[in-house]
Amino acid sequence: MAKKTATNGVRIRSGMDRDSLREDITLHLRHTLAKDEFSKTNWDNYRTVVLSLLDRLHDKWLNTQQHYYKVDAKRVYYLSMEYLIGRLLDNMIVNLNIQQEVADALEDVGLDYEKIRDAEWDAGLGNGGLGRLAACFLDSMATLGIPAMGYGLRYDYGIFYQTLENGFQIEKPDLWLRYGNPWDIVRPKIQYPVEFYGHQSMYNAPNNGHIKYEWKDTRKVQAVAYDTPIPGYDNGIVNNLRLWKAESDVALDLKSFNQGQYIEAVKENQLEQNITRVLYPNDKVFVGQELRLKQEYFLVSASMQDIIRRFKRSNDDWTKFPEKVAIQCNDTHPNLAIPELMRVLLDDVDMTWDKAWDITKNSIAYTNHTLLPEALEKWPVSLVRNLLPRHLNIIYEINRRFMDTIRASYGNDTGKMARLSIIGEGENPVVHMAHLGIVGAKKVNGVAALHSRLLKETMFREFHEMFPDLFTNKTNGITPRRWLKQCNPDLSNLITKHIGDKWVTNLDELKKLEPLAEDKAFQKEFAKIKLDNKKKLASYIKKTTDVDVDPKSMFDIQIKRIHEYKRQLMAALHVAVLYNRLKKNPDLDIVPRTVIFGGKAAPGYTMAKLHIKLINSIGDLVNNDPQVNKKLKCLFLENYRVTLAEMMIPAANLSEQISTAGMEASGTGNMKFALNGALTIGTLDGANVEIKEEVGDENIFIFGLTVEEVEELRRQGYNPWDYYNASAELKMVLDQVRAGFFSPEDPKLFQPIIDALLHKGDYFMVLADFDAYIKEQKLVEKAYRKTSDWNRKAILNVARIGKFSSDRTIQDYADEIWEAPAVKLKK
């Protein structure tokens, strides 16, 4: 391929061939990094590759953005407090579709790709599912050619680094920016003031005497843009992820400086910069801290200013806003976008309420990710009044008009008004962010069919009755680029060898594998790849824990945030049951299993942290007992994160998706495992329901209470003792936990677990489902023994999982919520 050159003969750094890549890698070492072969480190090598890729990405990025501007495309803005991106190097190379070229270029200069890849620290700017979903969506929006942009916060510290000390979780700060982030560029000229505090003042408009409001005497913090290129898969498109960093307002500092308060001014600086200091590490529990509210408004205000600036560059007619802009809020966290857009339109643009409302209501949509009541954001009115006084008044006015609507349809039903009010009245009144979203948004969606149905039937029943068309389902998905092509290259190549590579952008193509499920030769190749992936994980386990695991044993994996509703406890107790069986009969013929856990507990979630300790305690006992450890191992891997998921998922035989029915909104790990040829053991919860529909009842292990049965049992009065007394094996393990069998050094350690299960009503119904789980695990074992049949089932899972591509999810959002057509670019 001829090298591209500019008219003056200077080579443009965009060649996708081996030679151009090699040259640029070499040039960057000397000319950008000022290093040579004597002084370079692995980090420098990594950076030279990143810089060479960025040369190419930036070129496409500019072309893409120029094209969007030229065709005046409708823009989609994804607002999220979290982006759980992980590493980017592999992903960029995969999406530029130059894997071979980079490998060749590196070979030419004697660099080891795996070593270079390991120099990169995960960008862990998210907690779990919601953050990873945002990252998958970015990939799919770029791949489909949706003119989209992600907005978020550039936290100095992402999700904490987890270590295990004596089996207990210890949190360490995540210094992901220690050596800088080579992927993003700061845009110092793109910065906006974000205002806080102050008060609302009223005045008469000079032209017509109308009453107007103004937000005055605020404190300002600057939001500075940091941009990361997000390439689509092999399509020339590069979208933007714009993360805001808080900086002090320079003018303010100078004023203080002049008054001789230099040190005070600097202190003040730190206060302001604190806004983007750290990601809140809780998922599904609302913390009503002012700093969190500041973060949410900071994201909303900066993004909205940027969105409006871009809109005004090509439009002077505000009524066109909903035709040109769609804003998607990732949960309620950015729902202040609703009063913020109202504020700008009312106060700055001088629009009437009705016009402003029409525009707002038609541009913003919101996604709900949970039914758990403790996760719902309810901000104390006192806090909102202090931090955002003008917004509070706008929210009151939105609510006043909404109450009028209720009155018009239902009469003076004060009960209904209280239940649906955006303002939760009472001793400590709160702003109910989900209600704000429902009243102010164009669409509200759940993330799996079951979850969306439950939203309509339970949490938002009365809202649904009023606004039946407002609610919609968008079943989650995952990007096949990262979660198959990139993390499981051998399986990807096998698939491509047989059915071509169209599956990468059209996952339904995997259906073509169905006939191969019966094919013994294909099964053999498939099984060989699984075994190789298990060997890699086994050697990682050996390196990090010094435990030997047998790659031929069944790898039974549960990775996700540690939470009682996800019931890691149930899987741990199953390990204890297996242990007891083996101790009773060491010759028992069971399928050798390696049960592997990973996940972080919120730092303040004492019970979840105790579950981690219990898993580790059971593991210590099992792994060190020569009578059982040939057949059973139990491990908890430290610091679960995207990079570890990429190694664990391709190595799994069994995927644990065992939440109490009705509690997991969707789950997305379930999809990743199935895509990589693991079979699921799971409850009829979240997207498991749809996975079962797709893969077929014979190819998934479903057990336990349904949502309706859970409800019914609660209604009747659930008594965990009934289950304790009815099952000898369950009784035995619980008695062991209580007696300190797993914690001889501290026999009372796990008493709180017993209390939760037996004395406090076992809210998550571990005991109610335990027997069914143990029985289902027996069926798993039986199925695993029939190797060829197991492989057939695993292949069918891969073949039938196409629905769960985030490309399908995003196409649905684009068609049914955003009404934003894709664009095509010449590559």
Q: Identify which of 565, 710, 509, 443 has the alpha carbon closest to the alpha carbon of residue 129.
A: 565
Cα 575 from Cα 581, distance rounded (Å): 10
Annotated active-site residue in 668, 680, 683, 809:
668
Cα 455 from Cα 471, distance rounded (Å): 9
| Residues within window 75-114 making contact with ligand 26Q, judged by CB under 6 A | none
Site string for ligand 26Q, 474-493 (x = CB under 6 A): --x-----------------
347 to each of 20, 62, 208, 363, how far by Cα in Å?
A: 54, 34, 15, 19
| Residues within window 411-450 making contact with ligand 26Q, judged by CB under 6 A | 447
* Cα R_g (the chain), whole angstroms: 28
Annotated active-site residue in 369, 464, 482, 800:
369
- Applying CB under 6 A, among 96, 375, 608, 817 the residue interacting with ligand 26Q is 375
- Closest separation between CB of residue 696 and ligand 26Q, Å? 22
In the DSSP assignment, the letter for residue 157 is B
Triad 346, 349, 350: Cα angle to 5°: 55
Cα 225 from Cα 191, distance rounded (Å): 6
**In angstroms, how far is CA 464 from the centroid of its own chain?**
27
- Give the amino acid at 289: Q
Which of residues 229 and 686 has its CB atom nearest to ligand 26Q in the complex? Answer: 686
In the DSSP assignment, the letter for residue 675 is H
Per rule CB under 6 A, count of chain residues that contact ligand 26Q: 24
By the rule CB under 6 A, 387 interacts with ligand 26Q: no
Annotated active-site residue in 18, 416, 474, 672:
672
Angle between the 89-96 and 129-144 helix axes, to the nearest 10 degrees? 20
Which of residues 127 and 558 has its CB atom nearest to ligand 26Q in the complex? Answer: 127
| Residues within window 239-298 making contact with ligand 26Q, judged by CB under 6 A | 280, 282-284, 286-287, 292
Which of residues 480 and 667 has its CB atom nearest to ligand 26Q in the complex? Answer: 667
Which of residues 578 and 602 has its CB atom nearest to ligand 26Q in the complex? Answer: 602
With b for 16 or more beta-carbon neighbours within 10 A and e for fewer, the 461-482 pattern comes to eebbebeeebbbbbbbbbbbbb
Cα 760 from Cα 754, distance rounded (Å): 9
Which of residues 476 and 533 has its CB atom nearest to ligand 26Q in the complex? Answer: 476
Which of residues 420 and 433 has its CB atom nearest to ligand 26Q in the complex? Answer: 433
Which of residues 271 and 287 has its CB atom nearest to ligand 26Q in the complex? Answer: 287
Return the sign of the alpha-carbon dihedral for residues 240, 245, 251, 252.
Answer: positive
The residue with its CB nearest to ligand 26Q is: 129
Cα 665 from Cα 431, distance rounded (Å): 23
- Closest separation between CB of residue 286 and ligand 26Q, Å? 5
Cα 305 from Cα 489, distance rounded (Å): 42
Which of residues 286 and 311 has its CB atom nearest to ligand 26Q in the complex? Answer: 286
- Applying CB under 6 A, among 15, 86, 128, 720 the residue interacting with ligand 26Q is 128
DSSP 485-496: IIT-HHHHHHHH
- Closest separation between CB of residue 789 and ligand 26Q, Å? 30
Piece in contact with ligand 26Q (CB under 6 A), picked from 128-136, 158-166, 304-312, 690-698:
128-136
H helices within 82-227, ranges in order? 89-96, 99-108, 113-117, 129-144
Annotated active-site residue in 13, 390, 391, 561:
561
Triad 140, 143, 144: Cα angle to 5°: 85
Piece in contact with ligand 26Q (CB under 6 A), picked from 44-52, 455-463, 643-651, 662-670:
662-670
By the rule CB under 6 A, 129 interacts with ligand 26Q: yes
- Closest separation between CB of residue 741 and ligand 26Q, Å? 33
By the rule CB under 6 A, 139 interacts with ligand 26Q: no
Angle between the 89-96 and 99-108 helix axes, to the nearest 10 degrees? 120
- Closest separation between CB of residue 125 and ligand 26Q, Å? 12
Neighbouring C-alpha atoms within 13 Å toward the C-beta of 414:
1
- Applying CB under 6 A, among 52, 643, 666, 683 the residue interacting with ligand 26Q is 666
Which of residues 684 and 737 has its CB atom nearest to ligand 26Q in the complex? Answer: 684
Whether 560 is catalytic: yes
| Residues within window 686-745 making contact with ligand 26Q, judged by CB under 6 A | 686
Which of residues 540 and 565 has its CB atom nearest to ligand 26Q in the complex? Answer: 565
- Applying CB under 6 A, among 143, 617, 668, 805 the residue interacting with ligand 26Q is 668
Whether 498 is catalytic: no
Which of residues 456 and 530 has its CB atom nearest to ligand 26Q in the complex? Answer: 456
Whether 566 is catalytic: yes
Triad 655, 661, 666: Cα angle to 5°: 60
By the rule CB under 6 A, 664 interacts with ligand 26Q: yes
Site string for ligand 26Q, 348-367 (x = CB under 6 A): --------------------
Piece in contact with ligand 26Q (CB under 6 A), picked from 58-66, 126-134, 226-234, 691-699:
126-134
- Applying CB under 6 A, among 370, 533, 653, 657 the residue interacting with ligand 26Q is 370
What 3 state SS string does 263-331 have?
HHHHHHHHHHHHHHCECCCCCCCCCCCHHHHHHHHHHHHHHHHHHHHHHHHHCCCHHHHHHHEEEEEEC
By the rule CB under 6 A, 667 interacts with ligand 26Q: yes
Whether 668 is catalytic: yes
By the rule CB under 6 A, 565 interacts with ligand 26Q: no
Piece in contact with ligand 26Q (CB under 6 A), picked from 51-59, 121-129, 188-196, 781-789:
121-129
Which of residues 130 and 327 has its CB atom nearest to ligand 26Q in the complex? Answer: 130
Piece in contact with ligand 26Q (CB under 6 A), picked from 69-77, 406-414, 534-542, 666-674:
666-674
3-state helix, strand, coil in the chain (%, to 5): 55, 15, 30
- Closest separation between CB of residue 569 and ligand 26Q, Å? 17
Q: Identify which of 151, 191, 455, 73 has the alpha carbon closest to the alpha carbon of residue 329.
A: 151
Cα 371 from Cα 350, distance rounded (Å): 38
For residue 557, which phi and psi values (nearest 5 degrees)?
-125, 135
Cα 218 from Cα 196, distance rounded (Å): 5
Piece in contact with ligand 26Q (CB under 6 A), picked from 7-15, 129-137, 340-348, 746-754:
129-137
Burial, 57: exposed, middle or buried (Cβ in 10 Å; 0-12, 13-18, 19+)? buried
Phi-psi region of 335 (alpha: psi -120 to 50; beta: other; left: phi over 0): alpha
By the rule CB under 6 A, 368 interacts with ligand 26Q: no
Annotated active-site residue in 560, 613, 641, 808:
560
Annotated active-site residue in 28, 566, 613, 792:
566
Do the Cβ atoms of 825 and 237 come closer than 8 Å? yes
Residues of this chain that interact with ligand 26Q (CB under 6 A) are 127-130, 133, 280, 282-284, 286-287, 292, 369-370, 375, 377, 447, 476, 664-668, 686
Looking at the annotation, which residues are catalytic?
369, 560-561, 566, 668, 672
